[in-house]
Structure 1
Amino acid sequence: MEVKGSSLVVDSSWEQQLNKMAEQLKQFLYKNGKEKDLKKSASIFHQMGLLYKEQSKQDDSITKKLSLIRSAALLNAAVTRQPGNEQFKQSLKDFCSDLLKTARAKTLDADLLKIAQEVKKMAGKMRKETNASLQQVKTIPYDVKIDEQKELEAEKITNVKTIQAQITENYKNMMKFVSNECEKIMGNPPCRYSITGLGSLARHEITPYSDFEHIILLEEGTQEKDNYLQVLEYFRWFSVIFQTIIINLQETIIPSVAIPSFKQVTKPGEKEFFDAFTKRGISFDGLMPHACKLPLGRMERTKKKPWTTELIKPVNEMLTYLDKDEDLKNGYRISDVLMNTCQVYGDEQIYQQFSDGVRNVLQSDQPSHQDRLMQQLDEDLTNFDAFNCLNALIMDSKCNIKRLVYRTSTLFISALGRLNSIDDSSSFAIIDQLNNNNIIDDETAHLLSYAIAVSCQVRLKVYMEKESQDDYVGEEQLYYVLENKVFANLMDIVGERSMVDYFAIVFNLQNVLRNEDDLSNLKFNITLKPRDKFRMLQMLQLHDRMISEWESHSQEQPPNTSSQDELWIRYHVARAYCMMRKYKDSLLMLERLEERDIESHWLKGLVMRDKARCLYMLGRFQEALQFIGRVKSELLNFNLSDSNKYSLRSHLAHIGARCQNPLKEYQLAIDQYMEASEYNARVDQRQPLKEINRALCFSRIGHCLYELGDYDAAINEAEKCLQHYEQHNGPVNDKCSCYSFLGQCYLQRDDYKEALKNFQTELDLRLQFVPSEKQDSDEDIDLARSNIQLCQEN
């Protein structure tokens, strides 16, 4: 390959050249896939962009368009990383000019870069207005009175609706502007058409940093004309030019154009290149096989899905997708995507024809349609289960707010709309229709609208603060599991009150959908009970808040109430005391609960588990062991799922083993740790602490073996523990402890070389995650340094 100025000579091995460049890029990446040297990576992107441009001349019609889109993304990536590089800027300018010639555009002197700058100004204004509007949305105080709370919730709903409507209008205006420019560039369209928006734009939940997901509808009968292929080519090039203008905003991350070379040179288990430099904003939906919600559709085949899908079609041909099972990705079908649409640009009559066709399908009683809706709902209830998503954060230092907060509500409101043949796409409008049709009452409509308002506010606030479509809140990796700040970070976005109520509402909604057999005739209502609030306070780890809530709640309730909801509340409070290390208070409440008539076998099991833990933490080891022995036989008669039985037995065995340690019954402890590990292996995979608990068993078995003087066996268990932590992203502090223990084992064997290696690894990890200002006073770091010095002296 030879580079001269902004031109590039291509030989027949262009794919090998791309792979070689991708291999070079790997040298300039950190372990997490981020770039070390922007100047060097910019040069590689520039060369790859030129290569794709030149190769496009040899490609067939579809591949040519793909190559040009990838070239646009790569050349823009080079320019953003080195904005002062005149060669890079000239290459991008030349590319835009050559693209118009390749597309046989009518206006060859159009300036695609200038058009992009105009769009960027419009986007900047929209973002500024959104920021100002968001500042006016009040945070609802936690201790507000009920009447005032309802007023503040209604005010939040109104404000968020208004903000979303403003963003939607501004976003559509930008896309209309680009569409109009593309039409001028390509010349008079060969037929009437409609650019139709999908996804969050159609739902009026778009953000100032969202992708533009859309299709192009053609007037019916176009497919019967002799020039149909030319018509398609006009709109395909229209779409390529449109996408190039959007890419020129320089908010499109490179992975979204799915460059095969980056995957080709990545071995299994390696981190792929991730464009962390580009602030992800307004772009097209990605070209990855799991995306492709854009007019050109899915252009590349894979082994699992060996078909292509184009989304430039006459109305009736597009409507046929509503009865097809072809997937755009695992988790949703084309039919689901096309159910929620809006008119953006073009002929409104064509859009109306399509919208009427969708309405007819929604209102039909076709079993196949209803079956697909129910299948999709079942999948969503599994993948976006609010309880499981929230529970997973116990061991996750980063939180995906789109998955956790946005989709856990909007997906299910949308499902209710389809199940009730409501053709409006907006979540707020669907809720209003459900209320008008007497499917839900006024209170339920208010709660669901409030949940949608909170979910939209959370997503908007996170994106606006980051100035990017970045869904993650939190840190890269946990250092110490008890220092997990992800819940606190979540609370900071919209306040404790809104987060607690959001999850309480969503939890109830999902339970309704999960437990009803006949959803076609569903009528339901939701009310938030005290138990809902306490459950969410526990899950969000708001222990102090729960104790203060309990103090006011217990004054309002009769002291000897035995309602099952009340028993659950008392358990949540006991759990809060335990998490706050107030074990005496926790044990007192748990023992009182034991005296009550608890109907739920699961609640009984939890009370027993936590009582055993409190006895251990209070140093009452023999009493704890006797209690565990009695409880194990009782559990045999409990009506529980296998996973829940295994979970309880694993915890009890683990607590029993820990009680044996201070009693120096190391072999008994080993036996019980092995039992705990075996039971834990059978627990539901969705349990967040499952694998960490197994790793702890290996570690503690190793410590028992160390006490018994079997250092080789101890090393083997420690290595198993470390391997488990690596596989399941265990907390860094626990990994460090594992390396420290390995070092101590090797010291006992007088193998100073291996000991030194493990102590040094421990120190390097601790220095990486402990802030520099705290390193000199950190006892673990001091100990690691002392151990290293000891090894070096020997």
Structure 2
Amino acid sequence: MAGSSHVVDSSLEQELNKMAEKLKQFLDKNGKEKDPGKSASIFHQMGLLYNKFSKQDDSITKKLSLIRSAALFNAAVTRQPGNEQFKQSLKDFCSDLLKTAGAKILDADLLKIAQEVKEMVKEMRKKTNESLQQVNNIPCDVTIHEQKELEAEKITNIKTIQAQITENYKNMMKFVSNECEKIMGNSLCKYSITGMGSLARYEITPYSDFEHIILLEEGAQEKDNYPEVLEYFRWFSVIFQTIIINLQETIIPSVAIPSFKHVTKPGEKEFFDAFTKRGISFDGLMPHACKLPLGRMERTNKKPWTTELIKPVNEMLTYLDKDEDLKNEYRISDVLMNNCQVYGDEQIYQQFSEGVRNVLQSDQPSHHERLMQQLNEDLTNFDAFNCLNALFADSKFNIKRLVYRTSTLFISALGRLNSIDDGSSFAIIDQLNNNNIIDDETAHLLSYAVAVSCQVRLKVYMEKESQDDYVGEEQLYDAFDNKVFANLMDTVGERSMVDYFAIVDNLQNVLKSIDGLSNLKFNITLTPRDKFRMLRMLQLHDRIISEWESHSQEQSPNTSSQDELWIRYHLARACSIMHKYKDSLLIWEWLEERDIEHHWLKGRRMRNKACCLYYLDRFQEALQFIGRVKSELLNLNLSDSEKYSLYGHLTYISALCQYKLKEYQLAIDQYMEASEYFARVDQRDEPWKEISRANCFYDIGLCLYELGDYDAAINEAENSLQHHEQHNGSVNNRCECYSLLGRCHLERDDYDKALKHFQTEFDLRLQFVPNEKQDSDEKIKFSRNNIQICQENLELEMLYWMSLTI
């Protein structure tokens, strides 16, 4: 099948493209359906068209079309559950599929089988939810001994829950596999259905997809009937997937319908199925996914190769040493490393498992290089500190990326580097401990991190009743009122989140220092500095101040250890954000007198002292300080990007001071200079770089407004607004732009345009300010007053023109 050509009927393709184009009228600007009931008929018609596609001779087209047809028919039914025509089409499709597949039992009821699985899923989710309710959050005010006991209890509870879900999930998949075998008739050779991914790691959720392969007995490829064997299991897999799709938890994009991509123009959002509750499904058909028996069936320009995951054991093992898949971001070799038996011949699975173990224990340089290459890539892509830092500019976060992969990816890597073949993160940690690679305390901390990550993912999925990894808000009213971190800690509590990130940050720092495979022994501990750092990253500023009160009683107030300097830095930042600028300034001045080894901390001390001086209205002093320290930045051992960030912020603070001193032209020059510095900053170093530039444009417009150059001010305000919209700036920032535009047009006596901008500002603010606060909100009152001024002037204009006609 992998080598078949992909022949299609162009007329059917054109019809599908027309339907996809028609769907666009029912989508909003984000590609989501405005009225799913109206789009149901389009999905139904597309399902019928793909059913026609399946009548062609090409093996790939036939199977792909049937899978896509199943997804589309189910999408139509879920959107209009009372539509008898849609339900009949789905029923007819299931019957036709069995005939096309050459099934032995042609009257098998795939919808009834799916309904039985639904009941099993419902029970699994109910039990999981009940078990999760029994896992309590750990309070902040417990002793160290009590904390350790509660952490150990959480580890045990989460292990038990994950084991129960895994067992239930395997039983469901065994049931489906057994039904497929009955339908297709006795298999033509022995085989094993082998699970991968989170199922193999005992970290699966009640809403996870099913990554799996089909292993065939060794020697099957040498028999005359091997082509028939492959076709049997290909159709076995199509029927398996159809049953899973009939659970109605498969989102349409996962079947990778080309028409949706073909009709999407540059700048448009492709269709996204926000209606279907994403739950148990097979791994998607997108080019980067396809971790399922049928594998990658379609070639693309960037990935011109196919892969099938129905193979005899030794052929499947060859994927473990292939570089092509890794280069193309398919990474099937990494997924195959973690596996578990689901259904079929246990001996075949054991042969494969032994083969994987031999590869893990191999001392071949190429294998070790590959492991280190993957580890270094993951340390870059899933750096815990950078992931947290990026949240300062985001209103939503991906819990799988932020809380789950930042720990489990690296524990899995440690397992492979130490030739540990057990896929469970908890089991890998136990083995590392037994082998004296880590001590008991480190084993406890890592196990606790895994427990927290699993708990977060389970709770979010169970609350949303969907495999939806995103938590947070679509838009923020004010960037300094970011609810992301509050949402994050609502899941498992403040202490668990702080400790989680402190643990994984320590772990990742250890792995970054590993030199090949020569020094794998390590231990980690959590220090007060770690706690304060993570409290700051999670924006728990009031907690930093309260923690400092107890910490300072245990430490000498004049200590100058580098750890203590960092703690003071976090305290000073918390005071600034809590508007305690005098307290913050005292700490920055205290730090000025200490020998700070870390150059990044020196630079931040300069920036934040200047900021405090500005907020304390000491503008001239701030300007003098900035003029003095800017030259000192040249001597700091920082990256170019970090220096540009510091130069940009110091220059911006200087411009703010000049504005307050009514030196508008000087302020404009410095805002422009600051914007140029921000433009040169790496996005990873300064996630707010583009928002900072947008603020520069707005402030330039504000200065031009004060200078009476309203046309130029309008250009800058529009530039700022466009930049905020492009880079997800806060609603408040956008409102400020509309307000400035309105004032500029008001000064030009262009009351129509002024009213339009003030009304937009007013409407936006009303959406985000609670009803009980709207009457007292100063910005809303100012906007309402400006609207009234515009309306009064427009009435006067109308009366004037009416008087001329009398």
Normalising to structure 2: TM-score of the pair?
0.95
How far the C-alpha of 1:265 sits from its partner, in A, is 1.4
Matches within 5 A, 1:196-275: 196-275=194-273
What is residue 512 of structure 1 aligned with on the other side?
510
What is the CA distance between 1:336 and its match in structure 2?
Answer: 0.8
Q: Partner residue of 2:346?
A: 348
Number of the residue aligned with 2:362: 364
Partners of 2:120 and 2:219 lie apart in 1 by 37
The SS at the match of 1:342 is strand
CA distance in 2 between counterparts of 1:777 and 1:85 reads 51
1:114 to 93, 112, 121: 112
Report how far residue 130 of structure 1 moved.
Answer: 0.6
Aligned counterparts, 1:633-652, within 5 A? 633-652=631-650
1:718 corresponding residue in structure 2: 717
Check whether the contact 1:397–1:477 (CA below 8 A) recurs between aligned residues.
Answer: yes
Find the partner of 1:146 among 137, 144, 147.
144
2:189 to 185, 188, 191: 191
Q: Distance in 1 between matches of 2:558 and 2:732?
A: 44
Is the Cα contact below 8 Å between 1:578 and 1:614 reproduced in 2?
yes
Given that 1:419 and 1:520 are in contact with CA atoms closer than 8 Å, whether structure 2 keeps it comes out as no
Counterpart among 629, 633, 636 of residue 627 in structure 2:
629
Alpha-carbon distance in 2 for matches of 1:287, 1:475: 29
Whether contact under 8 Å (1:660, 1:668) holds in the other structure is yes
Q: Secondary structure at the match of 1:195?
A: strand
Contact 2:372 2:516 in 1 (8 A): no
Tell me which residue corresponds to 1:761.
760
Aligned amino acid, residue 106 of structure 2? L
Residue equivalent to 1:37 = 35
CA RMSD of aligned residues (A): 1.6
The answer on 1:292 being equivalent to 2:252 is: no
Q: 1:154 to 1:560 in 2, by over 3 A?
A: same
Judge conservation of contact 2:678–2:693 (CA < 8 Å) in 1. yes
The match for 1:698 is 697
Within 5 Å, give how 1:590-601 maps onto structure 2.
590-601=588-599
Letter in 2 for 1:353: Q
* Matched ranges for 1:98-177 at <5 A: 98-177=96-175
What number of residue pairs does the alignment pair up?
A: 785
Stretches of structure 2 that go unaligned for 5 or more consecutive residues are: 1-7, 798-806
Letter in 2 for 1:240: V
Q: 5 Å matches for 1:30-109?
A: 30-109=28-107
SS at match of 1:197: strand
Alignment correspondent of 2:679? 681
User: What is the aligned partner in structure 1 of residue 375 from structure 2?
Assistant: 377
After alignment, is 716-725 or 521-530 more displaced?
716-725
Q: 1:510 to 1:187 in 2, by over 3 A?
A: same
Range with bigger deviation, 384-393 or 13-22: 13-22
The structural deviation recorded for 1:406 is: 0.2
Partner of 1:344: helix, strand, or coil?
A: strand
Displacement, 1:771?
4.8
Give the aligned residue type for 2:732: N
1:11–1:682 CA distance, 2 compared to 1 (3 A)? closer
**Residues 88-132 of structure 1: CA deviation (Å, up to 9, x unaligned):** 111111010010000000000100001001111111111111111
Query: Which secondary structure state, in structure 2, belongs to the residue aligned with residue 303 of structure 1?
Result: coil
Match of 1:482 in 2: 480
The 2-side partners of 1:757 and 1:393 are apart by: 33
- SS of 2:488 mapped into structure 1: helix
User: Matched residues in 1 for 2:236 and 2:475: separation?
Assistant: 44
* SS of match in other structure, 1:684: coil
Name the CA distance, whole Å, in 2 between partners of 1:770 and 1:298. 49
Question: Which is further off, 402-411 or 645-654?
Answer: 645-654
Which residue does 1:493 correspond to in 2?
491
DSSP-derived class of the 1:216 partner: strand
Match of 2:277 in 1: 279
Does structure 2 conserve the Cα–Cα contact (< 8 Å) formed by 1:759 and 1:788? Answer: yes
Deviations, residues 535-569 of structure 1 (Å, cap 9, x unaligned): 00000010111111100000011122111001100
Residue 732 (str. 1) matches residue 731 (str. 2)? yes
| CA distance in structure 2 between the partners assigned to 1:732 and 1:48 by the alignment | 39
Query: Which residue is 2:430 aligned to?
Result: 432
Give the corresponding residue for 2:415: 417
CA contact (8 A) 2:53 2:61 kept: no
SS at match of 1:394: helix
Instruction: Classify the secondary structure of the residue corresponding to 1:287.
Output: coil
Q: Following TM superposition, by how much is the alpha carbon of 1:785 offset from its aligned partner in structure 2, in angstroms?
A: 4.4
Which residue of the partner structure matches residue 667 of structure 2?
A: 669
Equivalent pair of 1:743/1:758 in contact (CA under 8 Å)? yes
Given the superposition, is the C-alpha separation of residues 275 and 770 from structure 1 closer, same or farther in structure 2, using an over 3 Å criterion?
farther
Displacement of 1:731 in angstroms is 0.8
Deviations 1:723-742 (A, max 9, x none): 21122111111112112212
Indicate conservation of the 8 Å contact 2:28/2:34, yes or no.
Answer: yes
8 Å CA contact retained: 1:289, 1:328: no
Q: Give secondary structure in 2 for the equivalent of 1:169.
A: helix
Tell whether the 8 Å contact from 1:46 to 1:75 is kept in structure 2 after alignment: yes
Counting aligned pairs with the same residue, the percent is 85
Residue 674 of structure 1: CA displacement?
1.5
- 1:54 maps to a residue whose letter is K
- How far did residue 272 of structure 1 move? 1.9
Tell me if structure 1 keeps the 8 A contact 2:303–2:328.
Answer: no
In 1, are the aligned partners of 2:31 and 2:269 still within 8 Å (CA)? yes
Question: Residue by residue, what CA displacement relative to the aligned partner does 1:645-683 show, whole Å, maximum 9, x if unpaired?
Answer: 111111111111101111111111112112211111121
Task: State the SS of the aligned residue for 1:645.
Answer: helix
**TM-score relative to the length of structure 1:** 0.97
- Distance in 1 between the 2:328 and 2:653 partners? 41
| Distance apart, 1:361 and its partner CA | 0.9
Residues 664 and 707, structure 2, Cα contact 8 Å, conserved in 1: yes
Q: SS of 2:630's equivalent? A: helix
Q: Check if 1:707 corresponds to 2:706.
A: yes
Distance 1:653 1:59, change over 3 A: farther
Q: CA deviation at 1:705?
A: 1.5
CA shift, 1:712, in A, is 2.1
Contact map agreement 1:252 1:282 (CA 8 A) in 2: yes
Counterpart for residue 452 of structure 1: 450
Residues 744 and 755 of structure 1 are in contact (CA less than 8 Å); yes or no, is this contact kept in structure 2?
yes
| Aligned-partner Cα distance in 1 for 2:349–2:604 | 56
Alpha carbons of structure 1 residues 608 and 466: separation in structure 2 relative to 1, 3 Å: same
Shift of 1:214: 0.4
**In the TM superposition, what whole-angstrom CA distance separates every residue of 1:245-292 from its partner, at most 9, and x where no partner exists?**
000001111111111111111112212222111111100011111111
CA contact (8 A) 1:298 1:328 kept: no
Alignment of 1:743-762 (within 5 A): 743-762=742-761
Amino acid at match of 2:738: Y
Summarize the alignment of residues 773-788 of structure 1 with structure 2, pairs less than 5 Å apart: 775=774, 778-788=777-787
Equivalents in 2 of 1:144, 1:773: separation in Å?
38
Amino acid paired to 1:478: L
What is residue 17 of structure 1 aligned with on the other side? 15
Deviations 1:608-652 (A, max 9, x none): 111110110000111111111111121121121212111111111
Aligned match of 1:4? none
Cα–Cα, structure 1 residues 782 and 58, in superposed 2: closer, same or farther, change >3 Å? farther
